[in-house]
A and B are shown apart, each in its own frame.
Chain A
């Protein structure tokens, strides 16, 4: 009797589970760490390939989108394609940094037809169609991205036929692959391995210029960080030299300012506080915390060139704070959650974060972090952001210098965060790879590299890209593969930060820097065979700018870089 009951129970259970399985919608397998696939709407109908419906030489229809007024919170007034070869952006306020921004891979251009057909099905996230020296052959989720040389490239063609991107999270694992010869180049070898690489005649290390900042931040909406004396005490109580000397590789420097000195106007104003634990304790006592207080140090255990040893730095910081009476416990957070919580200003303790330059302009550092709409340090300080918004409208760096000096001094006075270091990092390649380099912006360009005559170049970076629609990505691991396949109006020089022509031969401004007109290059072909014209550029920009556009989908739809480079999106709620 009993066994019969048991059997029927098991049978029922089996039946129930079958029903559950049958009723679950078939979601495509998500990539590890990628969130985009899970959110994919189910569109079983196949999207027609754009190549088939692009008749060559159709009559040109200009495309134009104009904001009703400039009160929506963004900087852009109008985006328009005037004729086949002319693209124009009209700004509400003068924008001297426009060329630097337009060269960035978050403004890369894809064919209009492809955006229209592949955006809704989200195919564009996995299959970019660009104009770059390489086109995408396949993306094997969890394993590799294979790219092939694009024969019709308008510029100097790629040297190697096949380019493969792979990834591994651990520095030791990447170095092992390089040593065993399975990859030709790796990103971010562990600082401890620098000497090993230098000593190996078959390998070569390329130092990456320190165009980043690591800072220890506090959110001023939480006690006790609402008191400026407490923040100043922490600024004086951290021995920044000790952190840099012990936990940073060669080529790193202690930060005198938030912005690295290589960026024009970065280091105007007074240098940061000297380490002075006694003054720190006095300030704490002054603020009513003579016996210190308890807090939490939050960080994510992820290698970044600005923070190569996160756990060691967090532990040392814990020990340093203890010396001035602050008891901190350490909490490691998952990377995505950490970024979300910190950027929303919801972390109630001290957190370790940094910034890598996307383009070499002071606005990329100061304006992003200290603007009036950024809550990551708590309530923004008008003393800082008013100076910054005034300075951002002056094209000549020398004329803007006094304003940046005041802004930098205000940052020192108010201590929204403590700038610690500009961290040096490196790439490593096999010694026979010519043209190898490390870019300060993290956008190494593989078309110029020759892996000793081999026909495949294998690159290993820290992580898998989140998606390959980089107009809606911020992650450097996603941007780098995009930069091999997609291009923007302008570009950065290989291994450097200077802006040079890209898809446009030039972008010219009117006298007050409010209207930027770009002339497109002739004979640029997309990977699908279509020819570049100004509507491709216009639509690539408009889908990001106009939040009410039906194609404003992207990966998350946030278009974060667009938002912070050009202010709020049009029609955003």
Chain B
């Protein structure tokens, strides 16, 4: 029995030292990454429980629902001295007489959805292109990478605006545009990893054992190309949310009455001085979300990079 238990011990040891464990442990050593994760989990919770938290329907116009309500009213918070006979609106009322707080809360759903779907889509396409290009090499590599180079030569937001103008404004088209624009980034990351990994001895071993190219690519190379992709992806989510907000700000992204932060910011941009809360809260919400992803992404990079902290283990 002893050898078996010994084997399972070694197994356990091996597992505990796996890349993922190490990474997690390293992440938890970084304050900024923890901070990012805390904000992010908070945002995710808010997004999940939006309909519980929000006091109103985000698209409900409160004209006639609450007596004497005026558009763009300042926030009314009871514990901060707002008379109790007035209905409470933590972040005030927007230009169309809707509860700003509810809209901000529901906006988190849309922003997170934007971040994850665009980056998810871009990663899938980017990985396919990058892996193909890195593994096949030769003219395939050349054709794919040159096309992506052309794509990268355009300023990303301008290209996204062009794509949306062609497809027509709307949230879906904006998502598609941002995804297309970011594909080259992921394709390049994957290609670089594939290029270095395919020269590794274990790949050569797999090949000499008769593994098909497809098998080698899928089960030997790609799993090891994922870590840098995760870092780029996490940082990319922040950028994607920012780009989507920018498109919406320009009126090309989410269409009214969708409670999207960029749209909210854009439609009330003239009211910076008369109703600052309408610009301030969506702006803060965008900033917090992007900050969370950036902090987390930075932390992940430091944790995953094998050149850092290996000695301490």
Task: Write the nearest CB–CB distance from A566 to chain B, whole angstroms.
Answer: 39
Q: Please tell me if B275 contacts chain A, counting CB pairs below 8 Å.
A: yes
Cβ–Cβ contact A246 & B71, under 8 A? yes
Q: Interface size class for chain B?
A: 20 to 34
Cβ–Cβ contact B274 & A190, under 8 A? yes
Residue of A with least CB distance to B97: A246
Q: How far is the CA of A145 from the CA of B96 in the complex (A)?
A: 37
Cβ–Cβ contact B63 & A311, under 8 A? no
Identify which of A176, A193, A242, A311 gathers the most chain B CB atoms within 10 Å of its CB: A311
Cβ of B269: which chain A residues have Cβ within 8 Å of it? 170
Task: Write the nearest CB–CB distance from B123 to chain A, whole angstroms.
Answer: 31
Q: Please tell me if B302 contacts chain A, counting CB pairs below 8 Å.
A: no
Q: Please tell me if B273 contacts chain A, counting CB pairs below 8 Å.
A: yes
Q: Mark contacts of B83-102 with chain A using CB atoms, 8 A cut-off: 1 yes-contact digit, 0 otherwise.
A: 00000000000011100000
Q: Please tell me if A395 contacts chain B, counting CB pairs below 8 Å.
A: no
Contact partner, B274, options A193, A318, A332, Cβ 8 Å? A193
Cβ–Cβ contact A192 & B274, under 8 A? yes
Cβ–Cβ contact B95 & A318, under 8 A? no
Contact partner, B63, options A170, A246, A309, Cβ 8 Å? A246
Q: How far is the CA of A93 from the CA of B271 in the complex (A)?
A: 51
Q: Please tell me if A171 contacts chain B, counting CB pairs below 8 Å.
A: yes
Contact partner, B59, options A176, A246, A319, A331, Cβ 8 Å? A319
Q: How far is the CA of A193 from the CA of B273 in the complex (A)?
A: 9
Task: Write the nearest CB–CB distance from A3 to chain B, whole angstroms.
Answer: 15
Given A316-B96, A319-B61, A332-B169: A192 and B72 interface contact (C-beta under 8 Å): yes
Q: How far is the CA of A314 from the CA of B64 in the complex (A)?
A: 18
Given A242-B63, A318-B257, A319-B257: A312 and B274 interface contact (C-beta under 8 Å): no
Q: How far is the CA of A301 from the CA of B270 in the complex (A)?
A: 13
Task: Write the nearest CB–CB distance from B265 to chain A, whole angstroms.
Answer: 13
Q: Please tell me if B211 contacts chain A, counting CB pairs below 8 Å.
A: no
Q: How far is the CA of A330 from the CA of B263 in the complex (A)?
A: 13
Given A242-B63, A318-B257, A330-B256: A311 and B267 interface contact (C-beta under 8 Å): yes
Residue of B with least CB distance to A246: B71
Cβ of A309: which chain B residues have Cβ within 8 Å of it? 95
Which residues 228-275 in B have Cβ within 8 Å of A in the complex? Answer: 251, 255-257, 267, 269-275
Which residues 266-302 in B have Cβ within 8 Å of A in the complex? Answer: 267, 269-275
Residue of A with least CB distance to B267: A311
Q: Mark contacts of A142-178 with chain B using CB atoms, 8 A cut-off: 1 yes-contact digit, 0 otherwise.
A: 0000000000000000000000000000111001100
Cβ–Cβ contact B270 & A190, under 8 A? yes
Task: Write the nearest CB–CB distance from B98 to chain A, whole angstroms.
Answer: 9
Q: How far is the CA of A332 from the CA of B168 in the complex (A)?
A: 11
Cβ of B63: which chain A residues have Cβ within 8 Å of it? 242, 246, 316
Residue of A with least CB distance to B165: A334
Contact partner, A315, options B251, B257, B271, Cβ 8 Å? B257
Cβ–Cβ contact B59 & A172, under 8 A? no
Q: Please tell me if A329 contacts chain B, counting CB pairs below 8 Å.
A: yes
Cβ of B95: which chain A residues have Cβ within 8 Å of it? 309, 311-312
Cβ of B257: which chain A residues have Cβ within 8 Å of it? 315, 318-319
Task: Write the nearest CB–CB distance from A527 to chain B, whole angstroms.
Answer: 38
Task: Write the nearest CB–CB distance from A199 to chain B, whole angstroms.
Answer: 12
Task: Write the nearest CB–CB distance from A192 to chain B, whole angstroms.
Answer: 4
Given A171-B270, A315-B256: A247 and B61 interface contact (C-beta under 8 Å): no
Q: How far is the CA of A175 from the CA of B272 in the complex (A)?
A: 12
Cβ of B72: which chain A residues have Cβ within 8 Å of it? 192
Q: Please tell me if A390 contacts chain B, counting CB pairs below 8 Å.
A: no
Q: Please tell me if A196 contacts chain B, counting CB pairs below 8 Å.
A: yes
Given A192-B72, A312-B96: A330 and B275 interface contact (C-beta under 8 Å): no
Task: Write the nearest CB–CB distance from B171 to chain A, whole angstroms.
Answer: 11
Contact partner, B270, options A172, A246, A331, Cβ 8 Å? A172
Q: How far is the CA of A241 from the CA of B35 in the complex (A)?
A: 50
Q: How far is the CA of A188 from the CA of B275 in the complex (A)?
A: 18
Q: How far is the CA of A169 from the CA of B183 in the complex (A)?
A: 36
Cβ of B97: which chain A residues have Cβ within 8 Å of it? 246, 316
Cβ–Cβ contact A172 & B273, under 8 A? yes
Cβ–Cβ contact A172 & B96, under 8 A? no
Cβ–Cβ contact A311 & B275, under 8 A? no
Cβ–Cβ contact B255 & A329, under 8 A? yes
Task: Write the nearest CB–CB distance from A245 to chain B, whole angstroms.
Answer: 8
Which residues 434-487 in A have Cβ within 8 Å of B in the complex? Answer: none
Cβ–Cβ contact B169 & A170, under 8 A? no
Which residues 534-559 in A have Cβ within 8 Å of B in the complex? Answer: none
Cβ–Cβ contact B271 & A247, under 8 A? no
Cβ–Cβ contact B256 & A311, under 8 A? yes
Cβ of A247: which chain B residues have Cβ within 8 Å of it? 71
Which residues 201-226 in A have Cβ within 8 Å of B in the complex? Answer: none
Which residues 64-81 in B have Cβ within 8 Å of A in the complex? Answer: 64, 70-72
Contact partner, B251, options A170, A172, A190, A301, Cβ 8 Å? A301
Residue of A with least CB distance to B271: A192
Q: How far is the CA of A304 from the CA of B156 in the complex (A)?
A: 34
Residue of A with least CB distance to B263: A311
Which residues 153-206 in B have Cβ within 8 Å of A in the complex? Answer: 169
Cβ–Cβ contact B274 & A196, under 8 A? yes
Residue of B with least CB distance to A190: B270
Contact partner, B71, options A175, A193, A312, A331, Cβ 8 Å? A312
Cβ of A172: which chain B residues have Cβ within 8 Å of it? 270-274
Task: Write the nearest CB–CB distance from A295 to chain B, whole angstroms.
Answer: 14
Cβ of B61: which chain A residues have Cβ within 8 Å of it? 316, 319
Which residues 307-352 in A have Cβ within 8 Å of B in the complex? Answer: 309, 311-312, 314-316, 318-319, 329-332
Cβ–Cβ contact B169 & A315, under 8 A? no
Task: Write the nearest CB–CB distance from B247 to chain A, whole angstroms.
Answer: 13
Cβ of A242: which chain B residues have Cβ within 8 Å of it? 63-64
Cβ of B59: which chain A residues have Cβ within 8 Å of it? 319
Cβ of A170: which chain B residues have Cβ within 8 Å of it? 269-270
Cβ of A332: which chain B residues have Cβ within 8 Å of it? 169, 251
Task: Write the nearest CB–CB distance from B202 to chain A, whole angstroms.
Answer: 31
Residue of A with least CB distance to B275: A192
Residue of B with least CB distance to A316: B96
Q: How far is the CA of A329 from the CA of B64 in the complex (A)?
A: 23
Q: How far is the CA of A12 from the CA of B305 in the complex (A)?
A: 42
Q: How far is the CA of A378 from the CA of B71 in the complex (A)?
A: 35
Q: Mark contacts of A283-318 with chain B using CB atoms, 8 A cut-off: 1 yes-contact digit, 0 otherwise.
A: 000000000000000000100000001011011101
Task: Write the nearest CB–CB distance from B165 to chain A, whole angstroms.
Answer: 10
Cβ of B267: which chain A residues have Cβ within 8 Å of it? 311-312
Q: List 15 A-B contacts (CB under 8 A).
A: A170-B270, A171-B270, A172-B271, A176-B273, A190-B270, A190-B274, A196-B274, A242-B63, A311-B95, A312-B71, A318-B256, A319-B96, A331-B169, A331-B255, A332-B251
Known: A246-B71, A247-B71, A315-B96. 19 other contacts (CB 8 A): A170-B269, A172-B271, A172-B273, A172-B274, A175-B273, A190-B274, A192-B72, A192-B274, A242-B63, A311-B267, A312-B95, A315-B256, A316-B63, A316-B96, A316-B97, A318-B257, A330-B255, A331-B255, A332-B169
